[in-house]
Amino acid sequence: MNNSLTEIMANYGNIRILFESLQQKLNEAVTEVPVIIGKDVVGTIDSRDASTIDHIKSLVSSASSKEAVITFLISLGYPADQAEILFSAISRGSDIKVVSEYLLNRTISMSSLLNNVSDANSINSSIGVTKASAQFYAFSWRTSPPMGPGEVWLSTILKDGRRPSGGEKGDVIVDDLELEVKGPNGRLIGQSGYGDAKQMRNKLATAVSNISKNLKVNHEVIDSGKDNFWNIGKSAGSGLEENLKAIAKQLKGGFSKSDLSMISMEIISAYSNYLLNLDVKKYGSILVDVISKDGYINPTKWHVEMLTMYFEYYHSQEHFDYIAFTTSNGKFLIMDVSSFKSFYSNGSIVATSVPSFTNAAGSQGGTYGISLK
């Protein structure tokens, strides 16, 4: 037993000496690589330290691209200090050489994205921007009105994209075309052309009175006095429907088609007190198939027609060429104006809030809030 233990200990000593000798040779083989800035050696790094070497290479590449990219961003209409901040955001973890090559030679056209839901994260990846630079899509600076997610990003990555200047309208300019951008729950309202939403309660009550007079029906306008009585909800016609049902009961067979044409015109005329420049003749018949002969309002059809009218009115006031809807997670949709109704009807765009005519409703409260689903 003692002999065996002696032999084991002797072998262990030989193995330890061999390991220490090998370790010494490996240490001697390590090459210290100098780090040179200008003509000065500022230090050395272990040649085996691949991550540090890659980081230094990235910094060198970033430094050589920084001036060109910042100059480019300033040319798009970004304040110089924000261009610096944005460059830092884009650079984080990215192959800045690849990114800068794309930005200085942009190829993604607006037409290639038109009328399709797209993913900013996928586009970022394709141009060398990593997930570590996720703030690129959401980047903004303080403005009035505030910028929504995607505005700066679209201005930066789209071919011929830039920020508006001078008296230009729109949130993004693409080859002199105005692109409006709406973030989550974006309101369909511009700077002018809108009245006081609170007055709509009286105007709808007047429309009901006119309808009963035109039909020669003795009807006293029903008004519960509740603040939201005249709001048309997502699933109920509320006060307007209650009055129409009461009038229809006094007519044999309910409303005729000609009656519904007159009713639609009266209601749309009431809305012209909020949408001040509304073409009543153009939209006067849109509710004919929305209201039944018994006075029931189909809420789904109502909002398809009314939201489309609101959107087209908004466009008529702002005169943008295209509109984009963006989400906080990077999904976005750029569409031509004529496609709005189809995207709303198929559920790609949803109404996150419907017009409110309550005491708390300002000018914005009387319109729709919409989001990309």
Residue 140: the pLDDT is 92
As a whole number of angstroms, the distance between CA 361 and CA 349 comes to 23
Strands 177-182 and 322-326, by their bridges, are parallel
Which position has the token pair 């749309």? Answer: 268
198 Cβ partners below 8 Å, 6+ apart? 357, 358, 359, 361
pLDDT band at 5 (very low <50, low <70, confident <90, very high): very low
Strands (E), 47-123: 117-119
Structure tokens at 233: 């909800």
As a whole number of angstroms, the distance between CA 109 and CA 25 comes to 58
Evaluate whether 372 touches 186 at the Cβ level (below 8 Å). no
Give CA separation, 193 vs 8, 147, 200, 310, 363, in Å: 96, 22, 15, 12, 10
User: Picking from 36-45, 101-110, 213-222, 256-265, which range would have the lowest pLDDT averaged per residue?
Assistant: 36-45
As a whole number of angstroms, the distance between CA 161 and CA 177 comes to 9
As a whole number of angstroms, the distance between CA 346 and CA 369 comes to 17
Report which DSSP code applies to 101. Answer: H
Q: Is residue 19's pLDDT more than 60?
A: no
Residue 4: the pLDDT is 54
Neighbour tally for 200: CB within 10 Å: 23
At 106-142, the pLDDT tens digits run 999 999 999 999 999 999 999 998 876 668 999 999 9
Q: Which amino acid is at 326?
A: T
At 35-61, the pLDDT tens digits run 665 556 667 777 677 766 665 665 555
Strands 349-353 and 177-182, by their bridges, are unpaired
Instruction: Write phi, then psi, for 262 (nearest 5 degrees).
Output: -65, -40
Mean per-residue pLDDT for 17-30?
56
Residue 352: the pLDDT is 95
Write down the pTM of the prediction.
0.81
